[in-house]
Amino acid sequence: MVAESNELERINRLTEQIIGAAIEVHQTLGPGLLEAAYEQFLCRELDLRGIPFQRQCPIPVEYKGLRIDCGYRLDVLVAELVVVEIKAVDGLLPIHEAQLVTYLRLGGWKVGLLINFNERRLKNGIRRKVNSLEE
């Protein structure tokens, strides 16, 4: 129970730091760029803040004992705990949220952030999703 509480605290702290880094990128650049640019700039901001991450992590898919690499990749995995899916679209759709939830389930991660940088106010484009986590 204590270990779960510590993990939840760490995840909450990480998501706050990730959102802070995303806000910094958005305040500096604003909306209108491509997803790939936002991914690179968010990773730069995470690096400047000393937050460990991996970019473009492959997600193998398993079906009834058959495991294949279908080319699915996480945009960013922060501290091996938080999945970040980056978008630059007119508006988030249910399919974007479903994609993040599926990635969480496939990889066994507990928390993910969906961040749409194509918003006038970034806070309107942030969604947090959980997978089997008591909040």
Distances (CA, A) of 114 to 62, 68, 82, 103, 127: 24, 25, 11, 11, 5
For 84-94, write each residue's pLDDT tens digit: 999 999 999 99
**Res. 19: pLDDT tops 80:** yes
Domain ranges of the chain: 2-130
Token pair, residue 88, equals: 């630059």
For 20-30, write each residue's pLDDT tens digit: 999 999 999 99
Over range 10-24, report the average pLDDT: 97
